[in-house]
Structure 1
Amino acid sequence: MKPQDAASVLTALAGEWHAQGPLLISVAAGLRVAALQAWCGPGVAVVRAMPNRPALVGAAATGLFAPPGVTGPQRATAEQVLGSVGEIVWVPTEAALDVV
């Protein structure tokens, strides 16, 4: 989805997700974790990722950020998904995604 559509789409889906406790992995540029969490509501874990262009050929360097509350297994899932297109690195702050 396009970043400008995220608020309406995620808000509409939020009620369906709460019982499942899903993991949302966002690669949408410019959408901060706090906004995604607000739109998804409680019970949805959010990991934000910034893959670079070589992801198209499996040679990406992807930065990942997870706020407190994202579990080890959820982090492992994000690593598995994004690791399939290249190298990954967890960054300590969301702002650090801008330099990956």
Structure 2
Amino acid sequence: MSQSYKDLLQQREALEQAIAAARQREISEAVAKVRELVAEYGLTANDIFPGRGAKAASKPASKVAAKYRDPATGQTWTGRGKAPKWIDGKDRNQFLIA
């Protein structure tokens, strides 16, 4: 016996709801277990996720030296990312900074 398209869509909707409910229930159980272990062993976020959120461990972003200069305006470009309009489509060698 075949089922109609409408019946199958209703079954899919019911399954999606059941899946979402089961996922939420299991997530809640997992979070409860994790909280229990954290409390039991006195763990910190850094113990579990080392290097995340530690400002002392993060290094500052290094600046890249400009590689190209527009002689008309003095604007510079590192050669990374999208090319500025003043160099886009032109021979870049003429704009190289020596």
> Greater strand percent: which structure?
1
TM over 0.5: no
TM-score normalized with structure 1 length: 0.19
Structure with greater contact order relative to length (CA < 8 Å, sep ≥ 6): 1
Which has the larger Rg? 2
